[in-house]
Amino acid sequence: NGQVLSDADLAVLGLPAQDYRRNTAKVRAEYGHVPDAEFRAGRLRIIGALLAAPSLYRTERGRRLWEDSARSNMAAELRSLSD
């Protein structure tokens, strides 16, 4: 059950690219009180750590459904944060 819950929590990372970008804009708005430089540094650390893991998802189904698109979305976000 814990593995399924973890995958469900991270499913947002595997959304279609446009939806992922829309979601990241909502996350930024939620943390609007955090200065841009600090927010960017935090996102870079979090995304970097997630991408360093051998797999984002705990179940085979999660990996099959979302792994590739999640990694693509986060790699694109990393590039945009690094510019």
pTM: 0.92
Cα 13 to Cα 6: distance, rounded to the nearest angstrom: 12
Please, how many CA atoms are within 13 Å of residue 78, restricted to the half-sphere of its CB?
15
What pLDDT shows up at residue 19?
98
Taking only the tens place, the pLDDT of each residue in 23-41 is 999 999 999 999 999 999 9
Residue 47 three-state SS? helix
